[in-house]
Structure 1
């Protein structure tokens, strides 16, 4: 992958005999919004903490900027993190919270930098309201601002829309897209695939600590697109009939027996009639419609078992 900024290979984490993450593999390109989707307890936070350098993996390797990471490596400083909660001081206002973090970073000209970051996330540096009186959405914005103080190349957000109302979700979604436009590579986790699909460009499905699927946005949407699934004796013969007699050009050959047709205006009986009349043995023709959430639940199983 060109311009790979993060590469995870066989990454594993054990806690007291329990496996939280098992042999995770994926790559993230510079400038992507990478969506990590999985149920609560699937291992998302553990995986993100390893990438961010907060905990050490039991085995496997993390490469940042094409360099293998070891404990306390300085490249971890190029990552901004918002995992589980922002750790804000409730009796300080937004500016005061960020000022403390800026001091820890040893930043010069703190005032200008803090005002710029607060403006970036849509907060007012002159607002003296204490954080304890903030809405959940404002706290999330300030948490993201805190993760941006070090001017990171990579931003990791763990369930940033959790607990927000629809307006708050919309605001955080817009903020993520705006930050990505500035060149920041973003990793965002959620248990709601439908919401991730509105921002992410690449996806990994994590189930019981294992990456079970990896898709681009286009691949994921194609999986859920309305289609007719046709099983025949010989797919090569069927395809020529679909093209020449039914004028179907939006299809995908899955195997030597199965083809997916995405021309939803074609009725099943017309397809069956044309195939049979031309000597093609048809085993089944089924219309398929699936939402993103249905697709996710089908991949992990509706029981929803997960690792700690």
Structure 2
């Protein structure tokens, strides 16, 4: 196929920009004959997805085709280039309609690197293989450009001379007939499906937003859980229709054996997982992932994830910066005082003991002095003095009008720290209320006496008494049906002085009774 066109100068701009464009990433599937890839060179109808910049490109064009022709394979052309020892060009073959519109089949370009071209050199240009029909009355246009968006170009500005050195060789199979199958269904179907899904998500989100409107009656209630349910794979209920409320100034102990659903409840409270039913409100606002009301909650559940190569102080600072809140709102001094780590705050966390990490995690949860503080097993790794100090911190924190929720296995510590408890078993609420009400009247007596050894000897074999053990200032008697009056009479009859008799039922006893393991 003969081509016409004079020798032309092609300029490579400094830095290779601006650049010609053969196609945009992601639109390759839409290219091809008659598709969205049919963009005119220079001024395409859809904004020039394929175009070649004047001054950077050489154009050579054929006469009109007298009959329709199929191009099947790689077209070749011979050109003469000169002007530099190292020449970089990009070759393209357009199908030009009678009205001047140009199609770049499949948005393909052939990169060329020609060495030794300073004095001029003839080269054969092999264009990308295509399968394309050129209709009668159309022309072919060969374009050689110095830049292309899909490739790197030399940074140094330079100019080349490009001229024709032979005709265009077009591979064709005249007997080949290809039926047009059109675009596959998913070319248009997938965007439609995506639009339907997006609409469904939008409508669902609006319904959720309407359902999650703030409840003004609960605006001063730190935590309300109603009919909370979470079911894991296989149908196992981790939390089953759980409901309770925590008021301001309370220290609530969340109790239950392993697998009772305590940690799952706390994770839903923090917005980490979605409930399957019911809901959680913090100060009247529904909790969900990313809910703004979570800024009023401080938590330590299942490990804080400290960076071991940073110091304790740096970890706290990094955590607070990640919240995007002002530094002054962090109350670092109060948190560091709670941590009680002294000079260890400036050591790398990798050198910390378990107890030190635990204290740092609690300090992190208290950054910003949140209105609702949630701690999962906060006394793990703490020694007795540290446990007592932690108890004082939590009681003092709640005394300021804030609220604390603590999950712990140390029932004696919960009894001394918490004002209220919630007992869970197998995902369900077993009991809730003030600690005194849960403990109630027990089956244990504390008998004050200056002669504990004689008292133990007198009572140990008495019917209706399970055990007798020493207690500070007297003895502790576990009843198994005996009346307290009979016990006192027995002691007095044996010459044992009795100073006082008080009933005691420990939280541990009440807990075991509630979960059916007493």
- Report the TM range for the smaller structure's normalisation: 0.7 to 0.9
The change in CA–CA distance for 1:145 and 1:207 in structure 2 (over 3 A counts) is same
2:280 corresponds, among 46, 59, 62, to 62
1:295 aligned onto 2:489: no
Match of 1:209 in 2: 427
- Name the residue aligned to 1:284: none
1:90 aligns with 2:305: no
SS at match of 1:20: strand
Q: Given the alignment of the two structures, is residue 107 of structure 1 paired with residue 311 of structure 2, yes or no? A: no
**1:255 corresponds to:** none
Provide Cα deviations, 1:109-152, integer angstroms capped at 9, x if missing partner: 46984334212443437842222222322211210111122431
Aligned-pair CA distance for 1:174: 2.3
Question: Equivalent residue for 1:81?
Answer: 299
The total of aligned residue pairs comes to 252
Q: Does 1:159 align with 2:377?
A: yes
**Aligned residue among 402, 407, 414 for 1:189:** 407
- The superposition leaves residues 151-208 of structure 1 with CA deviations (integer Å, 9 ceiling, x where unpaired) of 3110000011124332332232222223223332100001232221111111111111
Q: Does 1:12 align with 2:219?
A: no
The aligned residue for residue 242 of structure 1 is: none
Classify 1:93/1:181 alpha carbon distance in 2 versus 1 (closer, same or farther; 3 Å).
Answer: farther
Aligned equivalents of 1:48 and 1:112: distance in 2?
23
Question: 2:393 matched to which residue of 1?
Answer: 175
Query: For 1:53-90, what per-residue CA distance to the aligned partner results, in whole angstroms no more than 9, with x for missing partners?
Result: 11111100212112333443211221111001121122
Matched, 1:42 2:256: no
Confirm or deny: 8 A CA contact 2:219 2:283 kept in the other structure: no
* Contact residue 38 and residue 44 of structure 1 kept, 8 A: yes
Q: 1:28 aligns with which of 237, 246, 251?
A: 246
Aligned residue for 1:277? none
Maintained 8 Å contact 2:272/2:289: no
Please give the secondary structure, in 2, of the residue aligned with 1:267. helix
CA gap 1:265/1:116 in 2 versus in 1, 3 angstroms: same
Equivalent pair of 1:94/1:131 in contact (CA under 8 Å): yes
* Higher share in helix: 1
1:138 corresponds in structure 2 to 356
Distance 1:223 1:5, change over 3 A: farther
C-alpha deviations, 1:3-33, integer Å up to 9, x for none?
A: 5321111101111021111110101001110
For each residue in 1:204-263, what CA deviation from the matched residue of structure 2 results, as whole angstroms up to 9, or x when unmatched?
Answer: 111111110112122123243758xxxxxxxxxxxxxxxxxxxxxxxxxxxxxxxxxxxx
The runs of 5 or more residues in structure 2 that have no matched partner are 1-217, 446-481, 489-502
User: Residue 163 and residue 208 in structure 1: after superposition, are their counterparts in 2 closer, same or farther (change >3 A)?
Assistant: farther
Q: 2:335 aligns with which of 117, 125, 128?
A: 117
Give the alignment's TM-score, normalised by structure 1.
0.72
Deviations 1:257-307 (A, max 9, x none): xxxxxxx9961599xxxxxxxxxxxxxxxxx8643212211221339xxxx
User: Aligned partners of 1:137 and 1:11: how far apart in 2?
Assistant: 33
Say which structure, 1 or 2, has more relative contact order (CA 8 Å, 6+ apart): 1
Alpha-carbon contact 2:358-2:380 (below 8 Å) kept? no
Q: Contact 2:229 / 2:240 at 8 angstroms: preserved in 1?
A: yes
> CA offsets, 1:35-64, max 9 Å, x none?
001112211110011112111111002121
Give the superposed CA RMSD: 3.1
Taking the aligned partners of 2:291 and 2:219, their CA distance within structure 1 comes to 23
Distance 1:107 1:2, change over 3 A: closer
Q: CA–CA distance in 1 between the matches of 2:263 and 2:513?
A: 23
Contact 2:221–2:284 (CA<8 Å) still a contact in 1?
yes
Report the Cα distance in structure 2 between the residues aligned to 1:97 and 1:111, rounded to whole angstroms. Answer: 17
